[in-house]
């Protein structure tokens, strides 16, 4: 497995760094996936011309809206689809439009690629816009990528260290919920039903579409069951509406020691099944581990 960061300054350096990588894979009959956001996807499609039909193209703003699902449903899924073969992936999970809420989950994802794909025959390149992303973001890219390229040369990153240690550095305290957030106490006596019902009401009042309310109810069900089963039978669920999203936070005394929990497809009956489903359905998942337990916050767009 190889994992490179590509620093680009404009469209020309973006295409110069990526098209050689893609065409190199095609010449070697290696499956190629390009998962980049919106405008950049069209830029690559146009740059590839007729070769675009030989490449898997995906809009990362859709497939990777929640960074927590990229490893399992985009990167590892592509590698496993072509098991035993070398594959190439362009993945751009961090772009200038990402919010401050999303960024820690994005950077954590970048660090964990080095763990989750260590046993695969995958070469991943992650582009970074050096003119629009902040200096701290670019410095983080040096910490999460073993090698860096600028499209013309490639060098070992001086900032790269143990990826698990780096991933844990992005496990940051969540911004406090608003004072008027709805609160539901979970226990073995109350079960998840009351939490599902209250969150359903909040989402309905916010104007959320019925199919997304159904997804939100499933998310709450999984979080509540995880708390009741794995956290001594009790916890607190908070819910509120902010910035066009319904946000739900589950606070309990449980522990999630596995840094890849919810990012890999779990076996049937595996305890990570709930977090895997939550990552599949939510627009953003943030997990904060602390001495008293774990806080899990999910965002679902109205």
Any idea what the CATH number is for the domain that residue 214 is in? Answer: 3.30.565.10
Domain of residue 208: give its range: 182-301
From residue 116, alpha-carbon distances to 36, 77, 110, 159, 163 in Å are 20, 12, 10, 20, 10
Give the pLDDT of residue 273.
80
Would you say residue 177 lies in a domain? no
Q: Are residues 245 and 150 in the same domain?
A: no
Q: What distance in Å separates the CA atoms of residue 294 and residue 225, rounded to the nearest whole number?
A: 14
If you average pLDDT over residues 240-268, what whole number do you get?
91
Q: Are residues 137 and 197 in the same domain?
A: no
Q: Are residues 113 and 164 in the same domain?
A: yes
pTM of the model: 0.94
What's the structural domain count of the chain?
Answer: 2
CATH number of the domain where residue 117 is located: 3.40.50.300
Paired sense of beta strands 284-290 and 154-156, if any? unpaired
Which of 112, 143, 169 is at the close of a domain? Answer: 169
Q: Are residues 146 and 191 in the same domain?
A: no
- Percentage of residues of the chain with pLDDT beyond 70: 98
Q: Are residues 17 and 142 in the same domain?
A: yes
Q: What distance in Å separates the CA atoms of residue 77 and residue 64, rounded to the nearest whole number?
A: 13
- Confidence check: pLDDT of 271 > 60: no
SS3 301: strand
Q: Are residues 205 and 144 in the same domain?
A: no
Give the pLDDT of residue 79.
97
Residue 272's pLDDT band, with cuts at 50, 70 and 90, is: low
Q: What distance in Å separates the CA atoms of residue 236 and residue 124, rounded to the nearest whole number?
A: 39
SS3 6: strand
Give the pLDDT of residue 99.
95
Give the 3-state secondary structure of 167-213.
HHHCCCCCCCCCCCCEEEEEECCCCCHHHHHHHHHHHHHHCCCHHHH
From residue 38, alpha-carbon distances to 97, 98, 103, 264, 290 in Å are 11, 13, 18, 26, 36
Would you say residue 39 lies in a domain? yes
């Amino acid at each position: 497995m190889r994992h490179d960061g590509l620093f680009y300054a404009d469209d020309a350096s973006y295409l110069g760094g990526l098209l050689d990588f893609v065409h190199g894979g095609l010449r070697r009959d290696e499956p190629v996936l390009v998962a980049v956001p919106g405008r950049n996807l069209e830029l690559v499609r146009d740059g590839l011309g007729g070769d675009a039909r030989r490449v898997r193209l995906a809009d990362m703003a859709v497939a990777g809206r929640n960074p927590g699902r990229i490893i399992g449903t985009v990167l590892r899924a592509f590698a496993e689809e072509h098991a035993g073969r070398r594959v190439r992936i362009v993945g751009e999970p961090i772009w200038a439009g990402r919010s401050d809420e999303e960024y820690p989950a994005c950077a954590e994802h970048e660090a964990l690629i080095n763990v989750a794909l260590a046993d695969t025959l995958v070469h991943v390149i992650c582009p970074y816009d050096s003119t629009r992303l902040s200096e701290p973001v670019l410095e983080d890219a040096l910490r999460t990528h073993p090698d860096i390229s600028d499209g013309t040369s490639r060098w070992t990153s001086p900032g790269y260290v143990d990826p698990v240690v780096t991933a844990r550095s992005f496990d940051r305290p969540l911004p406090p919920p608003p004072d008027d957030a709805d609160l539901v106490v979970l226990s073995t006596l109350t079960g998840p039903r009351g939490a599902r019902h209250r969150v359903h009401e909040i989402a309905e009042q916010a104007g959320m579409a019925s199919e997304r309310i159904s997804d939100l109810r499933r998310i709450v069900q999984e979080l509540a069951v995880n708390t009741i089963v794995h956290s001594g039978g009790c916890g607190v669920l908070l819910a509120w509406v902010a910035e066009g999203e319904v946000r739900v936070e589950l606070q309990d005394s449980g522990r999630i020691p596995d840094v890849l929990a919810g990012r890999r497809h779990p076996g049937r009956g595996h305890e990570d099944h709930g977090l895997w489903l939550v990552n599949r359905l939510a627009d953003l998942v943030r997990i904060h581990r602390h001495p008293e337990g774990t806080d899990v916050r999910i965002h679902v767009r109205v």
